[in-house]
Chains A and B, each alone.
Chain A
Amino acid sequence: MTSSPEAVVRSPWVSGLIKATPIVLGYIPIGLTFGVLAQKAGLSTFNTLMMSLLVYAGSSQLVAAGLFAAGAPTASIILTTFVVNLRHLLLSAAIAPFLKRWGKGELAAFAYQLTDETFALHAAEFPAGVPSKTEVFAINATAQASWLVGTALGAGLGQVIAEVEPFGLDYVLPALFIALIVLQIEKRTQIGVALLTGALSVVLLVLGVEQWHVIIATVIGATLGVFLDLWTNAPSS
């Protein structure tokens, strides 16, 4: 092939698949970690896969695996999941203005597969023009398919390995958070927001504000961010 990639007219599915590749590379190992931890927490292979199919929110699934392992009650697991995933409300609100011409059913399908990573991908692309619906759904479907593949691999592996600590798998979630923060930082005020919010969250937790420390710190931290923007210079409009 001598033609440049831009010159090749790709089907929206192929194009979506290619764009989703970085997400796939992240989701397979992390889905695998979830699969292993869920097995260790006593979930059947069916339930492990169902969580990845129906909940499909990586960090909350890893947190939930820990809670199932600790024998936490159902209500506590659901409440924690709600709090950890409440940020999707904000991601969804941020992406919604770009999808004004979509129907309710299409929005329902899109929202179902909205994750931190698909959000990051779409949020980077939509301001310059929303691609075809087929391509958007191809990206989202590819991402969730890789999450399920990773989960299935992990569920299989979980029956073979005895402990996850020697492999450092319990650090996957913090490492993922670090990478997602660093990749989103474009200006100095965001570093301030990250440090202030993180510190506040730690203080709240140490003071005994469990479960809610994440959402309280987030609301205060993002608000401080707006003031930092206004204070350092007038934000570009």
Chain B
Amino acid sequence: MDQRTIFLTILGMAAVTYLPRLLPTWLLSSRELPRWLVLWLRHVPVAVLAAMLFPAIMTQHGRLHLGLDNVFLLASIPTVLVAWRTRSLFGSVITGIIVVALARLVLPL
């Protein structure tokens, strides 16, 4: 893909990203949300993150991948523990990538 096409793709990405960010603030800021919607919205951030996370660490090329040779799945254990104990975004990410890097260095994959 040439850089001009890439730039046009980025403009398209920017548009489809901005509208969902903008519209609720314009349309909803002046009225009360129904209670069931508020309850539902509270669950969305955790749900969407889990929906992106699990396939990333449990599948490969659209198939289940749960073996001991799955470095991402292994690294998720210390990453969860560090996130839970330290509440640090940065510390968790660093722990995760160090474990992945070390596992690739040590394990015969």
Contacts and interface: CB of A to CB of B under 8 A. Distances in A.
Describe B's contact surface by its main secondary structure.
helix
B7 A175 contact: no
Given A171-B72, A174-B96, A223 B40 contact: yes
Contacts, number: 299
Contact of A210 (B62, B87, B96): B62
Contacts of B8: 74
B44 A92 contact: no
Interface residues of B, number: 79
Taking residues whose C-beta sits less than 8 angstroms from the other chain, chain A's interface range is: 35 or more
A134 interface: no
A26 interface: yes
Nearest to B3: A44
Nearest to A189: B43
Describe A's contact surface by its main secondary structure.
helix
A179 B54 CA distance: 13
A55 B51 contact: no
A190 to B, nearest CB: 5
Contacts of A193: 43, 46-47, 50
Contacts of A15: none
Nearest to B9: A74
Interface in B27-78: 27-30, 32-33, 36-59, 62-64, 71-72, 75-76
A99 B83 contact: no
Given A42-B1, A54-B10, A90-B48, 8 more contacts: A92-B22, A95-B25, A108-B22, A108-B26, A111-B18, A177-B53, A218-B44, A222-B47
11 contacts: A51-B13, A84-B52, A89-B21, A90-B45, A102-B29, A171-B71, A182-B83, A183-B87, A198-B54, A210-B62, A225-B42
10 closest A-B pairs by CB: A175-B96, A198-B54, A225-B43, A168-B97, A168-B100, A168-B101, A179-B92, A182-B83, A89-B20, A198-B50
Interface of A: 22-23, 25-26, 29-30, 42-44, 46-47, 50-51, 54-57, 59-60, 64, 68, 71, 74, 77-78, 81-82, 84-97, 99-100, 102, 104, 107-108, 110-112, 114, 116-117, 119-120, 165-185, 190, 193-195, 197-202, 205-206, 208, 210, 213-215, 217-218, 221-223, 225-226, 229, 235
